[in-house]
């Protein structure tokens, strides 16, 4: 394994603070469906529910042992809906494309993503990953990929 190899590992309760910090980052909030600050107690309740679900996969992406972001996949029948967050300190380093690509390979199933039209970084990521823009719904662009 090279120093710049990316790996995905399952998130745990120990990741709670890191995930909350990333979620409450101003740029992350600006690009999210809901842009309010999330309270610690609400986040901990959400994380416990996510980690217990058989229909949700939450992964932490690491490069050289450093956490660079998270990828979430929610199962909806035979398709997964993806969402991701790149850690502020990892932005602009291609970590996002690599971690979402790793999740797509892990799932080996059709995926979907909803991206705000102004989120240039995520729109570029979707294109680089070979996703197809299929619709505009509820103020979001909808992208799919059937690997």
Reported confidence tier of residue 1, pLDDT bands at 50, 70, 90: very low
* C-alpha distances in Å from residue 86, one per residue of 41, 42, 52, 90: 23, 21, 23, 6
The residue range of the domain holding 48 is 6-145
Q: At what angle do helices 95-107 and 120-128 cross, to 10 degrees?
A: 50
The 10s digit of each residue's pLDDT in 19-77 is 999 999 999 999 988 889 999 999 999 999 999 999 999 999 999 999 999 999 999 98
The CATH number of residue 45's host domain is: 3.40.630.30
The 10s digit of each residue's pLDDT in 71-115 is 999 999 899 999 999 999 999 888 999 999 999 999 999 999 999
Average pLDDT, the chain: 94
Number of domains in the chain: 1
What strand order describes the sheet that includes 111-115? Answer: 6-10, 56-63, 66-76, 79-86, 111-115, 140-145, 132-137
The answer to the question of residue 1 being in a domain is: no
Reported confidence tier of residue 3, pLDDT bands at 50, 70, 90: low
The 10s digit of each residue's pLDDT in 133-143 is 999 998 999 99
pTM: 0.92
The answer to the question of residue 73 being in a domain is: yes
């Amino acid at each position: 394994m090279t120093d710049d190899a990316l790996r995905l590992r399952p998130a745990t309760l120990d990741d709670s603070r890191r995930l909350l910090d990333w979620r409450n980052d101003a740029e992350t909030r600006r690009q999210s469906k809901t842009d309010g600050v999330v309270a610690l107690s609400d986040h901990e309740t959400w994380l416990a529910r996510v980690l217990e679900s058989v229909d949700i996969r939450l992964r932490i992406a690491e490069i050289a042992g450093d956490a660079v972001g998270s990828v979430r996949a929610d199962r909806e029948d035979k398709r997964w809906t993806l969402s991701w967050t790149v850690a502020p300190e990892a932005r602009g380093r291609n970590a996002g494309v690599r971690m979402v690509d790793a999740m797509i390979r892990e799932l080996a199933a059709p995926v979907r993503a909803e991206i705000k039209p102004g989120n240039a970084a995520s729109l570029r990521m979707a294109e680089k990953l070979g996703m197809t823009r299929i619709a505009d719904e509820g103020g979001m662009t909808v992208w799919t990929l059937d690997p």
